[in-house]
Amino acid sequence: MRNEDVAAVFYEIADILELQGIAFKPQAYRRAASAIEQLDVEIASAVASGTHREIPGVGEAIAKKIEELVRTGSLDYLERLRAETPPGLLEIMSVPDIGPKTAMILVHDLGVSSLGELKEAALAGKVKKLKGFGERTEERILSGIKTLESKGRRAFLGEALPVARAYVEYLMGRIRLDLIDVCGSLRRGKETIGDMDILVGWDNAPAVTDAFTQYERVDEVIVSGATKTSVRLAGGFQADLRIVERSSYGAALQYFTGSKEHNVLIRKMGIEKGLKVNEYGVFERDSNRKLAGDTEDGVYEALGLPWIPPELREDAGEIDAALRGALPTLLEPSDVKGDLHVHSEWSDGADSIDDIVSAAAAKGHKFVAITDHTQSLSIANGLSPEKVLAQIEAVRKAEERSEGGVRAFAGSEVDILADGSLDLPPSVLRELDVVIASVHSRLKMEPKEMTARLVAAIESGEIDIVGHPTGRIIGRRDPASIDLEKVFESARENGVMMEINAFPDRLDLRDAHCRMAKDNGVMMTIGTDAHSLRHLDYLEFGIITARRGWLEKSDVLNTLDPAKVEKKLRGRRA
């Protein structure tokens, strides 16, 4: 079992125990689940070496359950708990914002026993008639069901991209392909992915198909044909292979990358120029003479356009910008010199400051910011003012010990309280190199209140960055209702930056909001929100989101050298 699978089992146990009214144990299982998710080694390896017993929050009882899960793939204890739980209760609890008490009321008072029945009841207006619920609660439940249904069909970008790359690497190892790409929404960097699309230009289709279907992670061959094959991988993800002639590879890559809306505009341009554009190439409509198709650049050139980066192909003004010569020079991975949001073992991270600094150096970073939680977030072991000051000293010493030449910024992810005040006193905030301010509680405030809350924090003069500004968690929690135009206006006036949180289930700010912030003159930062060393790789997903938001090198603080980053941060607050 993967780390995520074991963690999911313990989260479910916690939910059931909470339903049963058992105190303390649910939190213990959640702590263990969180720690397992953050491991930078596979749980099976940890069990083999016995180090699973050293995982924070894992005592003797939980350690034995981990061993059983790794050995058998199931857990008798969970099966017994499920048998004691009313049918449908756990499914209903999977809806965002429905906790144990709410779920029990819905099951007992409405008589629903499945997600489908709850949806029907809500659509019929039965939920709002329950005591203590009301129309807004009913709307939130329907919205949560819609979010859950959507997530059930899609994978995070951060889940799908490594899987696709491994598949491509395997295929290239088998056949030495020189024309192979991931296309579709994954190539465009969408935050969630439906099916994985792999395109190959090759004259020997049967050989490619055989290799594709023989991959070790294939659970089921759905359909296999001369030009298209579909398989289901372990974990339920569908992968589609398309094989085209090498002479049409560029046209096929453009066509299958999409988006559909972008391609409609491309075909319309072709018609206006007397051309026919499809997955085989660009042709003169009257003579059917082929003008382009072997390269993607050539397809765009035949239409009088420069090549348009895949992340921009969403019918969001990219064609007009291309015609005007106004396409942005998008942020490149090589432009980014460090990570501005990392948690250590001082709060809820898994690793020491020294290990984080060393890992950042190994990745070629020039700087890394240690930004642990503060005291209000007790569930994350948030730091008191005294501990923050002690950690500043610890960060300084870790930087001195480092042999990689990495600048270690001492920072905090400070809670924005309900009234917009901050979770640390100004005297402590001013000692920090970087202050990220984030909302972690009361995310369902009215839009006017939530907007005022963020603006108050921005106008305090004590923060540098607003962390994961909308608070969304993809598939689990909708973004808070905020007037982002007002927030961005305040940020611009006060020199405060907005974060792209690169954690795969956040990507917050999202692409459209990044572009809105840029248009409002707000500088952006990228932070992984890493809680273990393996999360440092998530920086890539923040860069992809920035590219989808039309951001350039000059729009992102992470592209500056450490001295300039520090000058901008501390200089502004000084």
- Looking at the fold, whether 96 and 80 belong to one and the same domain comes out as yes
Phi, psi angles (nearest 5°) of residue 30:
-65, -40
Q: Across residues 565-574, what is the average pLDDT? A: 80
Return the pLDDT at 85.
79
Least-confidence region, from 235-244, 273-282, 374-383, 544-553: 374-383
Per-residue pLDDT at 74 exceeds 70: yes
- Looking at the fold, whether 253 and 239 belong to one and the same domain comes out as no
Return the pLDDT at 107.
82
CB-based contacts of 549, cutoff 8 Å, min separation 6: 500, 509, 510, 511, 512, 513, 514, 515, 517, 518
Q: How confident is the model at residue 81 (pLDDT cuts 50, 70, 90)?
A: confident
CATH code of 275's domain:
3.30.210.10
Strand partners, 165: none
Q: Considering its fold, how many domains does the chain have in total? A: 4
- Looking at the fold, whether 235 and 261 belong to one and the same domain comes out as no
Return the pLDDT at 150.
54
Give the best-scoring range by mean pLDDT among 21-35, 68-82, 500-514.
500-514
Judge whether 194 lies within some domain: yes
Q: Across residues 539-567, what is the average pLDDT? A: 97
Per-residue pLDDT at 402 exceeds 70: yes
Phi, psi angles (nearest 5°) of residue 440:
-125, -5
In 3D, which of 291, 326, 328 has the Cα closest to residue 309? 328
- Looking at the fold, whether 560 and 457 belong to one and the same domain comes out as yes
- Looking at the fold, whether 282 and 182 belong to one and the same domain comes out as no
Predicted model pTM: 0.78
Return the pLDDT at 160.
92
Which single residue is written with the structure tokens 């059930």?
Answer: 152
Q: Across residues 530-544, what is the average pLDDT? A: 95
Q: Across residues 257-269, what is the average pLDDT? A: 94
Q: Domain ends where: 117, 152, 187?
A: 152
- Looking at the fold, whether 89 and 229 belong to one and the same domain comes out as no
Q: Which domain covers residue 238, as residue numbers?
A: 155-244
Return the pLDDT at 574.
64
Least-confidence region, from 147-151, 164-168, 209-213, 358-362: 147-151
Q: Which tens digit of pLDDT belongs to each residue from 428-461?
A: 999 999 999 999 988 889 999 999 999 999 999 9
Report the distance separating Cα 226 and Cα 235, nearest Å. 26
The amino acid occupying position 294 is D
Report the distance separating Cα 46 and Cα 55, nearest Å. 9
Q: Domain ends where: 118, 152, 186?
A: 152
- Looking at the fold, whether 224 and 270 belong to one and the same domain comes out as no
Per-residue pLDDT at 151 exceeds 60: no
Q: Which tens digit of pLDDT belongs to each residue from 410-424?
A: 999 999 999 999 999
User: The tokens of 82 are what?
Assistant: 């499920």
Planar angle of CA 77, 81, 87, nearest 5 degrees: 145
Q: How confident is the model at residue 573 (pLDDT cuts 50, 70, 90)?
A: low
Phi, psi angles (nearest 5°) of residue 265:
-65, -40
Return the pLDDT at 147.
67
CATH code of 55's domain:
1.10.150.20
State what percent of residues in the chain have pLDDT above 70.
Answer: 98
Judge whether 341 lies within some domain: yes
Judge whether 328 lies within some domain: no
Strands 228-233 and 218-224: antiparallel
Judge whether 410 lies within some domain: yes
Report the distance separating Cα 485 and Cα 491, nearest Å. 10
Contact by Cβ (8 Å): 438, 468: yes
Judge whether 193 lies within some domain: yes
Judge whether 220 lies within some domain: yes
Q: Which tens digit of pLDDT belongs to each residue from 18-30?
A: 888 788 888 889 8
Phi, psi angles (nearest 5°) of residue 177:
-75, 140
Q: Is the C-alpha dihedral spanning 332, 337, 339, 344 positive or negative?
A: positive
Distances (CA, A) of 56 to 39, 63, 407: 10, 11, 29
Q: Can you tell me whether residue 480 is helix, strand or coil? A: coil
CATH code of 176's domain:
3.30.460.10
- Looking at the fold, whether 161 and 223 belong to one and the same domain comes out as yes
Least-confidence region, from 167-171, 380-384, 497-501: 380-384
Which single residue is written with the structure tokens 């795969």?
Answer: 504
Q: How confident is the model at residue 523 (pLDDT cuts 50, 70, 90)?
A: very high
- Looking at the fold, whether 488 and 534 belong to one and the same domain comes out as yes
User: The tokens of 495 are what?
Assistant: 């020199």
Strand partners, 224: 229
CA dihedral 361, 538, 343, 549 (to 10 degrees): 110
Helix (H) or strand (E) holding 463: none
Judge whether 352 lies within some domain: yes
State what percent of residues in the chain have pLDDT above 90.
Answer: 66
Report the distance separating Cα 78 and Cα 8, nearest Å. 11
Strands 238-244 and 228-233: antiparallel
Return the pLDDT at 500.
98
Q: Which tens digit of pLDDT belongs to each residue from 88-142?
A: 777 788 787 787 788 888 888 888 878 888 999 999 999 999 888 889 888 888 8
Q: Across residues 279-299, what is the average pLDDT? A: 95
The runs of H, that is alpha helices, within 460-538 are 484-494, 511-519
CATH code of 477's domain:
3.20.20.140
- Looking at the fold, whether 189 and 103 belong to one and the same domain comes out as no
Q: DSSP for 65-93? A: HHHHHHHHSS-HHHHHHHHTSPTTHHHHH
CA dihedral 536, 540, 543, 545 (to 10 degrees): -110
- Looking at the fold, whether 259 and 345 belong to one and the same domain comes out as no
Q: Domain ends where: 131, 152, 173?
A: 152
Judge whether 292 lies within some domain: yes
Contact by Cβ (8 Å): 243, 205: yes
Per-residue pLDDT at 379 exceeds 80: no
Q: Is the C-alpha dihedral spanning 541, 542, 543, 547 positive or negative?
A: positive
Helix (H) or strand (E) holding 97: none
- Looking at the fold, whether 479 and 545 belong to one and the same domain comes out as yes
Q: What is the residue-averaged pLDDT of the chain?
A: 91
Return the pLDDT at 37.
76
Q: Across residues 529-533, what is the average pLDDT? A: 92
Q: Can you tell me whether residue 125 is helix, strand or coil? A: coil
Per-residue pLDDT at 149 exceeds 70: no
Report the distance separating Cα 324 and Cα 305, nearest Å. 10
User: The tokens of 133 are what?
Assistant: 């619920």
